[in-house]
Amino acid sequence: MKLTEKDVRYVAALANLNLADDEIAQMLHDLDGILGQMDALAGIDTEGVAPMAQVLFDAEENSTLRADVERAPLSNDLAVQNAPISGEGYFKVPRVIER
């Protein structure tokens, strides 16, 4: 075992993920097995290799720019239409500032 239950709870907190106790136990088992596979990378010689963060192609420096033409934005109504709770054009969330 490489991971501990404490590690799993710590990572779940980082991810804002509420996990039940049985999920924590299962996660510990699964993550430990998968991370064991991933440790195989440690032995590979990558000295001097530049990390590949994205698939990139040769292109003009400004090729990702578009013409500066005005376009209609998403309307306020559409932007909040999928919110579980909205009002006055805003997303509503539980109170975060105590008065």
Q: List contacts with other proteins (CB under 8 A).
A: 7-8, 11-12, 14-20, 23, 26-27, 30-31, 33-35, 37-42, 44, 46, 49-55, 57, 59-60, 63-64, 66, 74, 78-85, 91, 93-94, 96
CB 36 within 8 A of CB 2: yes
* Cβ burial, residue 39 (10 Å; 0-12/13-18/19+): exposed
| Residue 20: CB minimum distance to other proteins, A | 8
Nearest C-alpha neighbor of 85 from the set 75, 73, 95: 95
| Residue 14: CB minimum distance to other proteins, A | 5
